[in-house]
Amino acid sequence: MKKAWLIALVIILALAGWSVSAYNGLVSMNEQVKSSWAQVDTQLQRRADLIPNLVNTVKGYAVHEQDAVQAVSDARAKLLGASSAEDKMAANDQLSSALGRLLMISENYPNLKANQNFQSLQDELAGTENRIAVSRRDYNQVVQTYNAKIRSFPTNVFAGVFGFHDAVYFQADSGTKEAPKVQF
């Protein structure tokens, strides 16, 4: 009888140890997802911070293009006001589209294209777009690892019990698969 209790105790302790380990692993992976999203969010904020200067520069040259300028300003406001990751992704898509239109319009204004401030802002914007792409890729890799872990048996049982849910991939909208073209 003692032997059966001892075996049961060992099994219970092993399951408890595994449960604690699985939980701690999920917490760690969840924190990696959050940290990776924070990097994406930082780059989105950087781009949003560049936009007022770009808009003001364009306003001085492209007085007949106020609709495009307003679309960029509105999209920026949506991005800054978004609270959830999904809302930020949608606002980012809208901002990318509006920026693309604004930069295409700038092609019609040679004096604007020649403006040193505008060129500098375009360079910064291009660099920021690259950083956003890298951050998105890194975020999606972390999300893939996390989602695979919480969907795998037997971890999926504990993930559900402890309230871990799938993380959302950062997917570009079909109209914004490419960064805005920045040309000189």
Query: Is there a domain that residue 20 lies in?
Result: no
Percent of the chain past pLDDT 90, that is, above it, reads 42
Query: Is there a domain that residue 17 lies in?
Result: no
Q: Which domain holds residue 171?
A: 29-176
Query: Is there a domain that residue 7 lies in?
Result: no
- Burial of residue 121 (number of CB atoms within 10 Å: 0-12, 13-18, 19+): buried
pLDDT for 24 = 93
By the 8 A CB rule, do 73 and 85 touch? no
Give the type of residue at 142.
V
Q: Give the 3-state secondary structure of 7-48.
A: HHHHHHHHHHHHHHHHHHHHHHHHHHHHHHHHHHHHHHHHHH
User: Distance between CA 179 and CA 184 in Å, rounded?
Assistant: 16
Query: Is there a domain that residue 71 lies in?
Result: yes
CATH number for the domain that contains residue 166: 1.20.1440.20
Query: Is there a domain that residue 24 lies in?
Result: no
Please tell me whether residue 164 adopts helix, strand or coil conformation.
Answer: coil
User: Distance between CA 70 and CA 91 in Å, rounded?
Assistant: 15
Torsion of CA 113, 117, 118, 124, to 10 degrees: 130
Q: What is the DSSP string of 97-129?
A: HHHHHHHHHHTT-HHHHH-HHHHHHHHHHHHHH
Query: Is there a domain that residue 46 lies in?
Result: yes
User: Distance between CA 39 and CA 132 in Å, rounded?
Assistant: 9
What's the structural domain count of the chain? 1
Tens-digit pLDDT profile for residues 126-182: 899 999 999 999 999 999 999 999 999 988 888 888 899 999 999 866 544 455 555
Tens-digit pLDDT profile for residues 18-42: 888 889 999 999 999 999 999 999 9
Query: Is there a domain that residue 164 lies in?
Result: yes
User: Distance between CA 105 and CA 101 in Å, rounded?
Assistant: 6
Q: What pTM does this model have?
A: 0.77
Query: Is there a domain that residue 36 lies in?
Result: yes
